[in-house]
């Protein structure tokens, strides 16, 4: 079989690159033709999906401490993954986070550095953030906004959450108590008014403005376009062209739920494959019901059901290999 491997990360257990490499190698050993392209939806893994880092800068982390943030610059196009500068993992998770004080300043510093280094197009993947500052820290680091004149700034969003709703939807995941969520919601509402007064942009009307705790909306006030993170990655890697002349597309992620079909990798891959008439196999750590009605060309395998939850989490790559090889069967050329 000719197989295209295009998975997302299995969060906290395996990166998209690790899953892709394991599956491509296993398929090749089994006599199949396999091509791999790690995917992302704008969150963690965005930088690796678009070529990987080739530069490192010291910037302010989410709680003000210096962090080494990797980024990419190639032919005047920069790729920045905000989680590398302002991510929740950098502070040790929600228990160690300060959800009120966490700032996107480091992400703004990376964008400024990219522009100063000659970038005329900057792709910013947002997701996995520690922050709910509405992008204020990033904008302060980017001041004055005139430095962005002539720069195409693209924000790859992994959610469609509205600006003010970012606190209620994602605040608890970042360590915010109910009282802190209320405070953050009020702060975002006030900030939206300030943004509209100063820039003329109503961030509350923008789909996805709440991504990364409102960073997406904040960057929109200085000219950024908010787009689907999956669509950005798919276009940059030429995913639709890679799907031509293959017999199967393999994708996957850690948890399959309703959100998987709302701008995430599995749903996006499934939609593109339908356009060219190619079947899709989604290997996922766990299926979370309820799911929407699945299309006929999509087959889903739950790794936790196949090998058990513990084994699936301990070695998702091995579990995914088992699932994919069982689905594909032996090659006739072996």
Question: Using one digit for the tens of pLDDT, what is the confidence trace for 23-41?
Answer: 999 999 999 999 999 999 9
pLDDT tens-digit series, residues 223-271? 999 999 999 999 999 999 999 999 999 999 999 998 899 889 999 999 9
Query: What does the H/E/C string look like for 60-122?
Result: ECCCCCEEEEEEEEECCEEEEECHHHHEHHHHCCHHHCCCCCCCCHHHHHHHHHHHHCCCCEE
Q: Is the pLDDT of residue 289 over 90?
A: no
pLDDT tens-digit series, residues 149-159? 999 999 999 88
Other CB atoms closer than 10 Å to residue 61's CB: what's the count?
22
Between 292 and 135, residue with greater pLDDT: 135
Q: Is the pLDDT of residue 331 over 80?
A: no
Q: Is the pLDDT of residue 332 over 80?
A: no
Mean pLDDT for the stretch of residues 138-166: 96
Q: Which residues contact 116 (CB under 8 A, 6 or more apart)?
A: 147
Q: How far is it, in rounded angstroms, from Cα 38 to Cα 55?
A: 20
- Confidence band, pLDDT 50/70/90 cuts, at residue 72: very high
Mean pLDDT of the chain: 95
Residue (of 55, 71, 161, 76) closest to 108 by Cα position: 71
Task: Identify whether the C-beta of residue 131 lies closer than 8 Å to the C-beta of residue 137.
Answer: yes
Cα pseudo-dihedral 65, 68, 74, 79, rounded to 10 = -50
pLDDT tens-digit series, residues 173-227? 999 999 999 999 999 999 999 999 999 999 999 999 999 999 999 999 999 999 9
Q: Residue 51: how many CA atoms within 13 Å on its side-chain side?
A: 16
Task: Identify whether the C-beta of residue 33 lies closer than 8 Å to the C-beta of residue 68.
Answer: no
Q: How far is it, in rounded angstroms, from Cα 164 to Cα 6?
A: 33
pLDDT tens-digit series, residues 314-324? 999 999 999 99
Mean pLDDT for the stretch of residues 264-290: 95
Q: How far is it, in rounded angstroms, from Cα 148 to Cα 115?
A: 7
Instruction: Return the domain boundaries, the chain.
Output: 2-38+243-328, 46-230
Which CATH architecture group holds 2-38+243-328?
3-Layer(aba) Sandwich (3.40)
Q: Phi and psi (nearest 5°) for 313?
A: -75, -35
Q: Which of the four CATH numbers 3.30.70.1400, 3.40.50.720, 3.30.70.270, 3.90.1510.10 does domain 46-230 have?
A: 3.90.1510.10
Strand arrangement, sheet containing 298-302: 33-36, 2-5, 248-256, 280-287, 298-302
Residue 334's pLDDT is: 45
Q: Which residues contact 167 (CB under 8 A, 6 or more apart)?
A: 132, 176, 181, 184, 185, 187, 188, 213
pLDDT tens-digit series, residues 77-88? 999 999 999 999
Residue 153's pLDDT is: 98
């Amino acid at each position: 079989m000719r197989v295209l491997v295009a998975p997302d990360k299995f969060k906290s257990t395996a990166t998209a690159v690790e899953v892709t490499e394991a599956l491509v190698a296993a398929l090749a050993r089994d006599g199949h033709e396999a091509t791999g392209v790690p995917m992302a939806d704008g969150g963690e893994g965005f930088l690796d999906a678009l070529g990987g880092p080739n530069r490192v800068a010291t910037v302010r982390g989410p709680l003000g401490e210096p962090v080494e943030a990797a980024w990419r610059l190639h032919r005047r196009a920069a790729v920045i993954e905000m989680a590398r500068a302002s991510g929740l993992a950098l502070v040790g998770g929600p228990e160690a986070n300060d959800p009120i004080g966490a700032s996107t300043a480091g992400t703004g510093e990376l964008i400024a550095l990219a522009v100063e280094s000659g970038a005329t197009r900057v792709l910013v993947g947002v997701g996995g953030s520690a922050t709910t500052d509405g992008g204020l820290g990033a904008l302060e680091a980017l001041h004055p906004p005139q430095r962005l004149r002539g720069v195409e700034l693209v924000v790859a969003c992994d959610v469609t959450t509205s600006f003010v709703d970012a606190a209620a939807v994602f605040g608890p995941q970042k360590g915010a108590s109910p009282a802190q969520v209320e405070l953050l919601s009020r702060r975002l509402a006030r900030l939206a008014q300030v943004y509209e007064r100063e820039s003329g942009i109503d961030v509350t009307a923008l789909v996805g403005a709440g991504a990364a705790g409102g960073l997406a909306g904040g960057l929109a006030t200085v000219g950024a376009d908010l787009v689907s993170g999956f669509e950005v990655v798919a276009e940059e890697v030429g995913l639709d062209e890679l799907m031509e002349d293959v017999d199967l597309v393999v994708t996957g992620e850690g948890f399959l739920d309703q959100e998987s079909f709302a701008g995430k990798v599995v749903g996006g891959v499934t939609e593109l494959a339908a356009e060219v008439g190619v079947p899709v196999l989604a290997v996922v750590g766990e299926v979370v019901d309820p799911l929407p009605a699945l299309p006929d060309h999509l087959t889903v395998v739950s790794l936790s059901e196949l090998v058990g939850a513990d084994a699936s989490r301990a070695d998702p790559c091995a579990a995914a290999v088992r699932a994919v090889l069982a689905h594909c069967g032996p090659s006739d050329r072996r």
